[in-house]
Chain A
Amino acid sequence: MHLLFIKQMNINLNQICKHFGKLQANDHISLLIPGGTIQGILGENGAGKSTLMKILSGFIQADEGEVILDGVQVRIHSPADAIQHGVGMLHQDPLDFPPMRVIDNFVLGQSGGLFPDWKSVVDEFKQLSEQFDFKLRHDAYVDMLTVGERQQLEILRLLWLGAQVIILDEPTTGISALQKQKLFETLKILAGRGKTVIFVSHKLEDVENLCDRVVVLRQGKLVGEQLKPFNTKNLVNMMFGKSIALEESKSHSTDRIAFELRDLSLEEERIQIQNIDLKIQAGEVIGLAGMEGSGQRPFMQACAGFLRPVHGRILVNGRDMTGMNYPAFKRQGVGYMPASRLEEGMIPGLTLSEHFILAGQQEGLFIDHDQWQEVTREKIRDYNIRGKPESPVESLSGGNQQRALLALLQQPLKLVLLEHPTRGLDIESVIYTWGKLKERCCDGAAIIYTSSDLEEILLYSDRILVFFSGKVSAPLSARGTSVAQLGNLIGGKDWARIKTGVGVTA
Chain B
Amino acid sequence: MTNEAILLGLAGVLTTAAPLIFAVVGETISERGGVINLSINGTVLLTAMGGFAVSVSTGSLLWGFVAGMVIGALVALIVAFGSVTLKQNQVAIGFVLALVCRDLAYFIGNPYMGLEGLRLPSLDIPLLGDIPIIGTLFFNHDLMTYLSYLIIPAAWVWIFRTRPGLVLQGIGEKPAAAFVRGSNVRRLRYLYTVLGGAIIGLSGPIYSLSVKAGWKGTISGLDGLGWIALAITIFGGWNPIRAALGVYLFAFLQWLGLVLQPSLPGVPSQVLQVAPFPLMIMTLLLVNIGNTEWVTRTLAVLPAPLRRFFNRLLRAMRASPPAALGTPFESE
Instruction: Give A residues with C-beta under 8 Å from B.
Output: 54, 59-60, 78-80, 83, 91, 95-100, 104, 107-116, 267, 269, 306-310, 323, 325
Within the complex, which residue of B173, B180, B296, B301 is in contact with A80, where a contact is CB–CB below 8 Å? B180
Q: Would you list the 6 A-B pairs with minimal beta carbon distance, nearest first? A: A109-B181, A80-B182, A95-B177, A308-B300, A79-B180, A108-B166
Q: For residue A110, which residues in chain B have a CB less than 8 angstroms away from its CB?
A: 163
Query: Total interface residues on B, using CB and 8 Å?
Result: 30
User: Among the listed B179, B293, B311, which residue makes an inter-chain contact with A79, where contact means beta carbons less than 8 Å apart?
Assistant: B179
Residue of B nearest to A115 (CB): B162
Q: A97-B173, A97-B174, A267-B300 are in contact. Are A107 and B180 (CB under 8 A)?
A: no
Docked Cα-Cα span, A110 to B167, in Å, equals 10
B-chain residues with CB within 8 Å of residue A98 when the two chains form the complex: 173, 323
> Which residue on chain A has the smallest CB distance to residue B181?
A109
* 17 A–B contacts from the bound complex (CB under 8 Å): A60-B332, A80-B182, A80-B183, A95-B174, A95-B176, A99-B173, A100-B166, A100-B169, A107-B166, A108-B166, A110-B163, A116-B162, A267-B307, A269-B315, A306-B293, A308-B296, A309-B300
Number of A-B pairs whose CB atoms are under 8 Å? 86
**B182 contact set on A, CB distance < 8 A:** 78-80, 83, 109, 111
Q: Is B178 an interface residue (CB 8 A)?
A: yes
**Contact, CB under 8 Å: B177 / A97:** yes
Contact A107 B300 (CB under 8 A): no
Verify A112–B163 contact, CB threshold 8 A. yes
CA distance A54 to B180 in the complex (A): 11
How far is the CB of A105 from the nearest CB of chain B, in Å?
9
Is the pair A114, B163 in contact by a Cβ cutoff of 8 Å? yes
Find residues 149-190 in chain B having any chain A CB closer than 8 Å to their own CB: 161-164, 166-167, 169-170, 173-174, 176-183
Check A108 against B170 for contact (C-beta < 8 Å).
Answer: yes
Contact string, B197-224, partner A, CB cutoff 8 A, digits 1/0?
Answer: 0000000000000000000000000000
Specify which chain B residues have a CB less than 8 angstroms from the CB of A267 in the assembled complex.
Answer: 300, 307
Q: Can you name 5 extra interface pairs (CB under 8 A) apart from A78-B182, A109-B181, A114-B162? A: A91-B180, A115-B162, A308-B300, A310-B301, A323-B301
Tell me the bound Cα distance from A107 to B311 in angstroms. Answer: 32
The distance from the CB of B158 to the nearest CB of chain A, in whole angstroms, is 9
Give bound CA distance, A96 to B166, whole Å.
12
**Minimum CB–CB distance for A412 against chain B, Å:** 28
A residues near B301, Cβ cutoff 8 Å: 308, 310, 323
B304 to chain A, nearest CB (A): 8
By a CB distance below 8 angstroms, the chain A residues around B163 are 107, 110, 112-116
B319, closest chain A residue (CB): A99
Assess whether B292 is interfacial by the CB under 8 Å rule.
no
For residue B320, CB closer than 8 A to chain A, the reply is yes
Bound Cα distance A80, B304 (Å): 50
Report yes or no: B164 in contact with A114, Cβ–Cβ below 8 A: yes
**B237 to A: closest C-beta gap in Å:** 11
A95 near B180: Cβ-Cβ < 8 Å: yes
**Whole-angstrom CA separation of A229 from B15 in the bound complex:** 77
B183 surroundings in chain A (CB, below 8 A)? 80, 109
Q: Which of B317-332 contact A (CB under 8 A)?
A: 320, 323, 332
Q: Which residues of B contact A108 (CB under 8 A)?
A: 166-167, 169-170, 178, 181
Contacts of B300 in A (CB 8 A): 267, 307-310
A307 vs B315: C-alpha distance when bound (angstroms): 17
Nearest-neighbour CB distance to chain A for B39, whole angstroms, equals: 26
Chain B residues with CB below 8 A from A80, complex form: 179-183
Partner of B166, one of A78, A95, A104, A269: A104
State how many angstroms separate the Cβ of B151 from the closest Cβ of chain A.
Answer: 17
Chain A residue at minimum C-beta to C-beta distance from B166: A108
A96 near B164: Cβ-Cβ < 8 Å? no
Taking the nearest CB of chain B, how far is it from the CB of A502, in angstroms? 21
A141 to B98 alpha-carbon distance, docked (Å)? 37
List the B side residues contacting A308 at CB < 8 Å. Answer: 296-297, 300-301
Contact yes or no, B311 A269, CB < 8 A = yes
Chain A min CB distance to B239 (Å): 12
Q: How far is A109 from B166 in the complex, measured between Cα atoms in Å?
A: 9
**A54 and B170 contacting across the interface, CB-CB below 8 Å:** no
* Contacting pair B307 A310 (CB below 8 A): yes
Question: Considering only CB atoms, which chain B residue lies closest to A97 in the complex?
Answer: B173
- Alpha-carbon gap, A486 to B121, bound state (A): 76
On whether A59 and B166 interact (CB within 8 A), knowing A96-B174, A99-B320, the answer reads no
Bound CA span A79–B169, Å: 19
Mask, B270-304, CB within 8 Å of A = 1, is 00000000000000000000000100110011001
Which residues of B are found within 8 Å of A100, using beta-carbon distances?
Answer: 166, 169-170, 173
Report the separation of the CA atoms of residues A100 and B301 in the bound assembly, to the nearest whole angstrom.
Answer: 32
Q: How far is the CB of A163 from chain B (nearest CB, A)?
A: 13
B332: A residues at CB distance < 8 A? 54, 59-60
Residue of chain B at shortest CB distance from A308: B300
Which A residue's beta carbon lies closest to that of B303?
A: A310
Q: What 1/0 mask marks residues of chain B from 248 to 262 whose CB sits below 8 Å from any chain A CB?
A: 000000000000000
Closest to A99 in B: B320
Q: How far is the CB of B149 from chain A (nearest CB, A)?
A: 22
Candidate in B161, B163, B169, B311 with the most chain A CB atoms within 10 angstroms: B163
Docked Cα-Cα span, A97 to B301, in Å, equals 34
| A residues near B173, Cβ cutoff 8 Å | 97-100
Measured in the bound complex, the distance between the Cα atoms of B311 and A364 in whole Å is 43
Considering the chains assembled together, what is the distance between the CA atoms of A69 and B182 in angstroms? Answer: 20
A114 and chain B: residue at smallest CB distance: B162
Which B residue's beta carbon lies closest to that of A93?
B176
Chain A residue contacts of B170, Cβ below 8 A: 97, 100, 108-109
Interface residues of B in 85-135 (CB under 8 A from A): none
Closest B residue to A57 using CB positions: B180
| A104 nearest CB across to chain B (Å) | 6
Return chain A residues, CB-CB under 8 Å to B179: 78-80
CB distance from B185 to the nearest CB of A (A): 11
Cβ distance B262 to chain A, nearest Cβ, rounded Å: 47
Chain B nearest CB from A272 CB (Å) reads 10
Which chain B positions have C-beta within 8 A of A112? Answer: 163
A343 to B42, CA, bound (A): 35
Distance of A61 from chain B, by nearest CB (Å): 10
Closest to A94 in B: B177
B87 CB to nearest chain A CB (Å): 14
* Chain A nearest Cβ from B42, distance in angstroms: 30
Chain A contacts for B161, CB-based, 8 A: 115
How far apart are the CA atoms of A91 and B179 in the complex, in Å? Answer: 13
CA of A44 to CA of B115 in the docked complex: distance in angstroms?
Answer: 76
* A216, B311: Cα distance in complex, Å: 51
